Amino acid sequence: MKIKLMLLAVSLVSFSSASAGFDFGKLLEERLSKELNKDKQTQPTPAQTTTPAPAAAQSAAASPPPANQKIDARQLGFALFGDYSLEEENRIGRQISGNLLGAVPLVRDNKLQNYVNLVGKWVALQSGRQDVTWHFGVLDTEAINAFAAPGGYIFVTKGLYRLLNNEAELAGVLGHEIAHVTQKHHLKVLKQSSLIGALGQAASSKAKGSDQVVQNLIGNGAEIMARGLDKNAEHEADRAGMVYAARAGYDPWGLPSVLQDMAALPAGDNRTSLLYKTHPHPADRLAALGEAVDGRLDAVRGKELADRFYRIK
Amino acid sequence: MKTFLIPAAVLVLCVTAASAWAAPGTVLRNEKLYSQPSASAKVAGTVAKGASVGILAKQGGWLRVTSGKTTGWIRLLSVRAGAGGLGGTRVGDVVGAATTRSDPSRVVAVAGLRGLNDEDLKRAQFNADELARLDALSVMAAQARSFARQSGLAAVNVAELPKPQPEQSSSPWGDN
């Protein structure tokens, strides 16, 4: 499979440079979405190296494609084939998180932030993914939402935190976001969008510490966080989030309880507008979870820990 | 003794008030109502998908609901809270959310509360200082384990939940 991809990469790149008029981007898109979907059928192999990518980058650099095709040779080297390396994943996660924090800062309450990091880390320890450094932060906005970025960056908003009643609910919400990282949902979306030619369109940022190569990959600012994932990824994260919280010893019904509280909010509440743009409605998520859970968690007895739950001022 | 009685009385009042007040809910799939919050309890009745119920109480993965003359316990995941009816896709708030792109002023309209919309995210500039602050908050595994132990949390084996049968044959990339 890998050799095939490498051959494909080299042949595609050299082929396109030989015939400048050919729609290179479109060809790549079609051929690769086929390859990627084929990949989906098989089990993802851990730590696929990016060997094919440098090959592609080199041939592309040797004979750069015409400027109007918007494909930057540097991004061709950014794991166009195979999975992103851990280092690339971290770079992507840091850039997205730094941008998100540029839109909305952390709540200035160290006790709160420390508490959320302790709960989050404990839940993440049950997720089976320990190659990333987990970071958790509460964002200072009344919007009701939560975000995950590759590399283990997890955020909940103050508005969502205010809806929570106990530690098990927090664990469930964090579990959902942790699952987006363990399942690499955003990396998959990013891979696809970079393949269909969204490269090199980001406005150049002069901000200190900003990584322009990654920024070109992820588009403007933190817009990737506003684009959302497909609903199957959200349902998958709901299932995994419940399981991670339960494995951590919490009552597994924390996440569904939060979804119930969201479902009960009045329609058109402005605090949920971005959330519902990027997530299925809580009613749909509850129904999908109901199908998957049924009686499977009836025997699980976990803790809610309402007493220890840190109440926000 | 007296000082103990007052909070106890308040508690009793609260519980009574909560059970007398039923929050609206909608049944998400055909379900049984049980006499106790357990699938091995006696079945008190059934409810059909789409039926309206009144939610009286919550206990773990169960809700105590009234449906017509029947009161019983139903699985938490078989009901949605709120009066929005079945499903979410046709609910007005979703349509409303889609319009915020062209009208960002709507998002910040609530009593001075700061929202967060897609334009904010798109315009966001990298903030290295906040990211450093986030880095500094990260905790070690040993700290998290000790934190868990303090409240008697222990890791337990829970099997993964099965992926439901595909509803449609759409690709995992579609439908964004």
Fill in the DSSP letter of residue A48.
-
A10/A107 same-domain check: no
Range of the domain at A134: 96-185+224-293
Residue ranges, comma separated, of all CATH 2.30.30.40 domains in chain B are: 20-81
One-letter amino acid at B99 equals T
* ipTM attached to this prediction: 0.74
Q: Is residue A7 one of the residues assigned to a domain? A: yes
A178/A129 same-domain check: yes
Fill in the DSSP letter of residue A303.
B
- The tens place of each residue's pLDDT in chain B, 176 residues long, gives 445 555 555 544 444 444 456 899 999 999 999 999 999 999 999 999 999 999 999 998 999 999 999 999 999 999 999 876 665 544 433 333 333 333 333 333 333 345 788 889 988 999 999 999 999 999 999 999 999 999 999 999 999 999 987 655 445 444 44
Q: Is residue A219 one of the residues assigned to a domain? A: no
Pairing between strand A135-139 and A153-157?
Answer: parallel
Q: Does B160 touch chain A (CB under 8 A)?
A: yes
Q: Is residue A193 one of the residues assigned to a domain? A: no
**Residues of chain B neighbouring A92 (CB-CB closer than 8 A):** none
Q: Is residue A202 one of the residues assigned to a domain? A: no
E-assigned strand segments in B93-150: none
Tell the residue number behind the tokens 């439908």, with chain if given.
B175
Do the Cβ atoms of A120 and A87 come closer than 8 Å? Answer: no
Q: How many helices (H) and strands (E) does chain B have?
A: 5, 7
Do the Cβ atoms of A217 and A76 come closer than 8 Å? Answer: no
Give the pair of three-digit tokens for residue A237: 């994260």
pLDDT > 90 in chain A, percent: 53
Q: Which of B29, B125, B171 to mutate to test the interface with A (most CBs of A within 10 A)?
A: B125
Q: Does A203 touch chain B (CB under 8 A)?
A: no
Cα–Cα dist A80/A289, whole Å = 34
Q: Does B82 touch chain A (CB under 8 A)?
A: yes
Residue positions counted in chain A:
313
**Residues of chain B neighbouring A97 (CB-CB closer than 8 A):** 131, 134
Question: Quick check: helix, strand or coil at residue A279?
Answer: coil
Q: Does A280 touch chain B (CB under 8 A)?
A: yes
A178/A279 same-domain check: yes
**Residues of chain B neighbouring A112 (CB-CB closer than 8 A):** none
A35/A113 same-domain check: no
Cα–Cα dist B83/A213, whole Å = 48
Q: What is the pLDDT of residue A220?
A: 82
Residues 6+ positions from B20 with CB-CB distance below 8 Å: none
A107/A61 same-domain check: no
Cα–Cα dist B38/B58, whole Å = 13
Q: How many domains does chain A have?
A: 2
A146/A285 same-domain check: yes
Pairing between strand B43-47 and B31-34?
Answer: antiparallel
Say what angle helices A231-247 and A110-124 make with each other, to 10 degrees.
Answer: 90
A245/A124 same-domain check: yes
A140/A71 same-domain check: no
A127/A48 same-domain check: no
- The tens place of each residue's pLDDT in chain A, 313 residues long, gives 455 554 444 444 444 444 444 444 454 455 555 555 544 444 444 444 444 444 444 444 444 444 444 444 455 456 556 788 999 999 999 999 999 999 999 999 999 999 999 999 999 999 999 999 999 999 999 999 999 999 999 999 999 999 999 999 999 999 999 999 999 999 888 887 766 554 555 666 678 888 888 888 888 888 888 888 889 999 999 999 999 999 999 999 999 999 999 999 988 888 998 898 889 999 999 999 999 999 999 999 999 999 999 999 7
Q: What is the CATH number of domain B20-81?
A: 2.30.30.40
Tell me the pLDDT tens digit for each residue of B99-118: 333 333 333 333 334 578 88
**CB atoms < 10 A from the CB of A134, how many?**
25
Q: What is the pLDDT of residue A251?
A: 97
Q: Is residue A59 one of the residues assigned to a domain? A: yes
One-letter amino acid at B118 equals D
**CB atoms < 10 A from the CB of A183, how many?**
19
